[in-house]
Amino acid sequence: MNEKKRAKIILKILNQIYPRTPIPLKYKNKFTLLISVLLSAQTTDVNVNNVTKNIYPKYNKPEHFVKLGRKKIEKLIKKIGIFRVKAKSVYFLSKQLINEHSGKVPKTFEELEKLPGVGHKTASVVISQGFGLPAFPVDTHIHRLAQRWGLTNGKNVTQTEKDLKRLFPKKTWNKLHLQIIYYGREYCKARECYGLTCKICNTCYPDRKTPLKTKKA
């Protein structure tokens, strides 16, 4: 079975299991989506949502966070991992949005990736979920699953993103990246499936007998 055939099978299975894909991070506007994605690095979406549910009703614009200052932002997000680093990014990101973009979140990769604390994956999520434009955010989980499913050679997340974009129609990208995340959390877990037990792994590799070792991003 070649990679294009595997991609078609995977898409069919994911569409059957996840016809709808709610966005896991809770937000009020494009700015708070950007902040939530930034905060979600090295922690869970649930943890971020638990913290931001007490923040966004009152603070949801760049001006609010600039007025708060770094120390107060730290106090608000202290339950999230590496909160001091993230508070610094949130503060300077907010200042930059006001100074360079009239307080609005830009909609291009180039502009987003110039913001403090915003890498390509974060920009991809904002482009996809905030603006509804085609993007394929690839995190460590999608990188791992794409290797298990024979969709990439696993060199790095950049290569994985290119491979997934090549194999799947552009119109599927925004929904598909969420479907893959949901499926990985529920069925193809890092320390449970090992490329052997879930429906996608069994269908794509029915003869696989030994656990698959994946390359880290």
pLDDT of residue 212: 86
Model confidence over 185-203: pLDDT tens digits? 999 998 899 899 999 999 9
**In which residue are the tokens 């939530």 written?**
36
pLDDT of residue 216: 81
pLDDT of residue 214: 85
Q: How confident is the model at residue 49 (pLDDT cuts 50, 70, 90)?
A: very high
Q: How confident is the model at residue 44 (pLDDT cuts 50, 70, 90)?
A: very high
Are the CB atoms for 53 and 26 separated by under 8 Å? Answer: yes
**In which residue are the tokens 């595997």 written?**
6
Q: How far apart are the first and last CA of the chain?
A: 25
Model confidence over 90-131: pLDDT tens digits? 999 999 999 999 999 999 999 999 999 999 999 999 999 999
Looking at the chain, which residues constitute the CATH 1.10.1670.10 domain(s)?
3-21+136-204
**In which residue are the tokens 């070792």 written?**
213
Alpha-helical regions (H) of 56-188? 62-68, 70-76, 83-101, 109-112, 120-125, 140-148, 157-167, 173-186
Q: How many angstroms from the chain centroid is the CA of residue 41?
A: 9
pLDDT of residue 108: 97
pLDDT of residue 201: 96
Q: Which CATH architecture has domain 3-21+136-204?
A: Orthogonal Bundle (1.10)
CA neighbor of 78 nearest in space, from 61, 67, 64, 90: 90
Task: Name the helix (H) or strand (E) containing 28.
Answer: none
Chain mean pLDDT for the chain:
95
Query: Residue 1 above 90 pLDDT?
Result: no
pLDDT of residue 186: 95
Domain 30-130: CATH superfamily is Hypothetical protein; domain 2 (1.10.340.30)
pLDDT of residue 101: 98
Share of the chain above pLDDT 90, in %: 91
pLDDT (mean) for 63-85? 97
Distance between CA 154 and CA 146 in Å, rounded? 8
Looking at the chain, which residues constitute the CATH 1.10.340.30 domain(s)?
30-130
User: For the purposes of burial, counting CB atoms within 10 Å of the CB of 149, is it exposed (0-12), middle (13-18) or buried (19 or more)?
Assistant: buried
Q: Which two tokens stand for residue 50?
A: 């638990």
User: For the purposes of burial, counting CB atoms within 10 Å of the CB of 133, is it exposed (0-12), middle (13-18) or buried (19 or more)?
Assistant: middle
pLDDT of residue 179: 98
Q: How confident is the model at residue 83 (pLDDT cuts 50, 70, 90)?
A: very high
